[in-house]
Structure 1
Amino acid sequence: MSAPTPTGRKFLGRLPLPERNYLAEALRTETVGGVLLLIAAIAALLWANTPLSHSYEAVSDFHIGPSALGLDLSVQHWAADGLLAIFFFVAGIELKRELVAGELRDPKAAALPVIAALSGMIVPALVYVLVNKTGGGSLSGWAVPVATDIAFALAVLAVIGTSLPSALRAFLLTLAVVDDLFAILIIAVFFTSDLNFAALGGAVAGLVVFWVLLRKGIRGWYVYIPLALVIWGLMYNSGVHATIAGVAMGLMLRCTRNEGEKHSPGEHIEHLVRPVSAGLAVPLFALFSAGVSVSGGALGKVFTQPETLGVVLGLVVGKAVGIFGGTWLAARFTRAELNEDLAWPDVFALASLAGIGFTVSLLIGELAFSTDPALTDEVKAAVLTGSVIAAVLSGVLLKLRVRKYRALYEEEERDEDRDGIPDIYEQDDPGYHLRMAELYEAKAAEHRRLAEHAGAAREDGDGPA
């Protein structure tokens, strides 16, 4: 191992205990949601490629909603614009928390994952553009391979039975959060139709009201849910993609803890909404977006058309090369030292896993080729194909190191004294138990003092008998 760098910073080092506990809870929900996402995607493919395919199209194209409010939408449209707003609401909270209390709060620490994520978006886009420039295809889909689907990636980890150390999982989550941020910006900037300024002004006014109510400490779902629906409806009618409303509201929540708070309001709401997002919204979106024809002819086109080949290569090659290359360069120039328990092939395996770009990639594919339904389905098939190849490749790479990961994971989880604190954190801090004993004794003394004071007050007649 090389000598410590002057900065003393560790890349993929052990997380602080509060961050580790938060991460474990968040990823547990996402893993369950990812398995449901896989089930929904498989169900959609089976439904769309059997004699019942006509019913799939009928249900997806069925329109429902008040036309007077401009919301007479198909079921597929409701899933993409409505349910995904919940997904992006959670993404907004995650981003806010990362900025104020997580990996992104320190600019120096944030530089490496941000550079890695940006490289992991720029290189896939360049791969797509290069393939389509040389092949004479459309450049409209350049943004399709830029996103990472954290739920799908975690589902792959659950299926192959790999227990990654918390530092690798945290890095993957941070990549996905930054990915989501820039995917949101791409959707807002490049996929906004003709603006309705009256509706947009109403949406902004609604967001201001939402922000004021939060700052005033007003509580009650019966206040915020109706207001959120109004904001979403106005945002949809403004021409800006409606999921932006979810992100904006998520970013407004306070994600820092005040004295005496076990969880911040943002963390509390995320804890309530994340299961709805991971367990309902995203799987339903997958059900009505992943149902594409996978006949031999359609799969053949995936590797022969420049648009679809660009998506596959962008996800499989662009993501892995971009994230790994960006991480290596950022670590070299920031002089961050890789955790001695891990190796650079681990980073490459994680970068390959990030090539699973399911949810947001499908959404951007629908937006990029909305005027060509046939090409839209082919691009969706390419997203599915690229994601599966990335999942298989990363699964093989991770399996090669599964014993090392399992040993690190078990070491992180070991709690022989059953006090709720992993032993490895107590070993790092030998004075932990002594400080806890002193804290408990101080609290006990304070309780005794208050009890004595209350008893004296009752004897003097100053307090209730």
Structure 2
Amino acid sequence: MSPAPSRPPRLRAVFPVASRAEARRIGEILRKETIGGILLVTFAAVALVWANSPWADSYFALRDTEIGYEPWHLKLPLGDWAADGLLAIFFFLVGLELKREFVAGDLRSARTAVVPVVAAIGGVAVPALLYLAVVGASADEASGWAIPTATDIAFAVAVLALVGSHLPGALRIFLLTLAVVDDLIAIAIIAVFYTDSIDLVPLLLALLTIAVYGVIAQLSRRLFHARPAAAWLILLPIGFVAWALMHASGIHATIAGVLLGFTIPVLHKRADRADDAGPGLAELFEHRFRPLSAGFAVPVFAFFSAGVAIGGVDGLASAAADPVLVGIVVGLVLGKPLGITAATWLVTRIRRIDLDPALRWIDIAGVGVLAGIGFTVSLLVTELSFAAGSGQADHGKVAVLTASVIAALAATMLLGARNRRYRRAARSAGDPAAEMDRASGN
């Protein structure tokens, strides 16, 4: 009797238990993003109420007020300053996080990177296809195909932090890594598909300025480590010039923020690497500037972007009948979890990779539901897809807000139930932290 064929060895688990340093970093991000997510929702709610109040004219007058220097083509409405300018701060942090993940994080290894990368691709492709299936690939509304492909990391992580105190650390790392890759895809989509024309001279000057910025950041790591004000006095003016030139080139100016973030060094110079060297410059900048992004830039953008005049019951009925709204809601609420879960299942089967032993597929599905919170980037893509003030643009924004709320509530229920199960399991195992939770009434 011939021996049974041996089963091919499986690779190591996806996102095994993280190191203490990585766990502390993830926890720090979770705490900051919780506050940022609350501010984001608050500012968006204020804008929505104001835009539908008897004083709506004052809101739109404020949003359309133009300021800036006309000779440099920078006399823009406040709404555009928020979308093009303030969001560049958000995308600068995205650039920092992307580089850190590729240089020193989970994406530096092909074995751990393949799953979140494929999951993010699935979470982009399926919502886009569902949107096109609803509106029709040849219709005018098809230009909004990218709206349901984005994930708002601030909002999503805020929800996870509020309901996921006992969820496995591997699940949190999976969400963050997935969102980072999702942001990278969104950046590529904005740069490639939402650029009508390119002026090469400003673009080349912008790239040259970014290169100068990077050289200074690389050569002056110790200075920027020791003196926080030096970044404001030296790097900020250069970064603003790069942003203005990118804006003049025709490419969306937020791309400048990403490229500037890519230039910041992640690791110390070889001579400075020691156990007590502290965090690298990219991590230090992320720590310093994230409050500016989460506490000001993104909420202000949400305030100027989320203000949509719904028009009462008739307006809601009109929006609900618009294929744009249906396509976005279907893409975010159904397409995101379907694409992420299916892509994760497929790649783990093909590559013979096990999930972390602490995870279940329902947890992955919960992250997929959570990723359906589009908000910031989806609102930005809505503004890039349709003419400002058009019915499609307004309906698109209503759809993004509606889908994000539905996804947040659904994820809260699903992951909240999973969190309670993990908490009971921890108590049964005699986890001291769970005992402290029980004593405090949590």
TM-score by length of 1: 0.84
Query: For residues 3-22 of structure 1, what are the structure 2 equivalents within 5 Å?
Result: 6-22=9-25
Find the partner of 2:120 among 117, 121, 131. Answer: 117
Query: For residues 28-427 of structure 1, what are the structure 2 equivalents within 5 Å?
Result: 28-133=31-136, 136=139, 138-158=141-161, 160=163, 163-217=166-220, 219=223, 220-221=230-231, 222-258=233-269, 259-260=273-274, 261-294=277-310, 295-370=312-387, 373-406=390-423
Structure 2, gaps ≥5 residues long: 1-5, 224-229, 435-442
Change (3 A) 1:238 1:414: farther
Question: Could you say which residue in structure 1 is the equivalent of 2:226?
Answer: none
Contact 1:146/1:361, CA 8 A, preserved across alignment: yes
Amino acid at match of 1:280: F
Deviations 1:164-208 (A, max 9, x none): 332111111111100110100111111113222221121111011
Partners in 2 of 1:159 and 1:39 — Cα distance? 16
Deviations 1:403-449 (A, max 9, x none): 13435788999589xxxxxxxxxxxxxxxxxxxxxxxxxxxxxxxxx
Partners in 1 of 2:158 and 2:81 — Cα distance? 25
Contact 1:162/1:405, CA 8 A, preserved across alignment: no
Deviations 1:338-382 (A, max 9, x none): 233321111111101100000000000000002662211110001
Q: Kindly, what percent of the aligned residue pairs are identical?
A: 46
Structure 1, gaps ≥5 residues long: 417-465
Contact 1:301/1:308, CA 8 A, preserved across alignment: no
Superposed displacement of residue 112, structure 1: 0.5
Contact 2:95/2:261, CA 8 A, preserved across alignment: yes
Q: Which runs of 4+ in 1 moved over 4 A?
A: 134-137, 158-163, 407-416
CA-based RMSD of the aligned residues comes to 2.3
Alignment length (residue pairs):
414
Partners in 2 of 1:12 and 1:231 — Cα distance? 37
State the SS of the aligned residue for 1:77: helix
Contact 2:10/2:354, CA 8 A, preserved across alignment: no
Partners in 1 of 2:66 and 2:195 — Cα distance? 22
Deviations 1:264-313 (A, max 9, x none): 01111111011111111000000110111343233323432112211110
Change (3 A) 1:134 1:87: closer
State the SS of the aligned residue for 1:140: helix
Contact 2:35/2:158, CA 8 A, preserved across alignment: yes
Query: For residues 436-447 of structure 1, what are the structure 2 equivalents within 5 Å?
Result: none
Amino acid at match of 1:335: R
Contact 1:82/1:243, CA 8 A, preserved across alignment: yes
Contact 2:168/2:359, CA 8 A, preserved across alignment: no
Change (3 A) 1:135 1:69: closer
Contact 2:218/2:264, CA 8 A, preserved across alignment: no
Contact 1:135/1:306, CA 8 A, preserved across alignment: no
Query: Which of 46-55 and 181-190 deviates more?
Result: 46-55
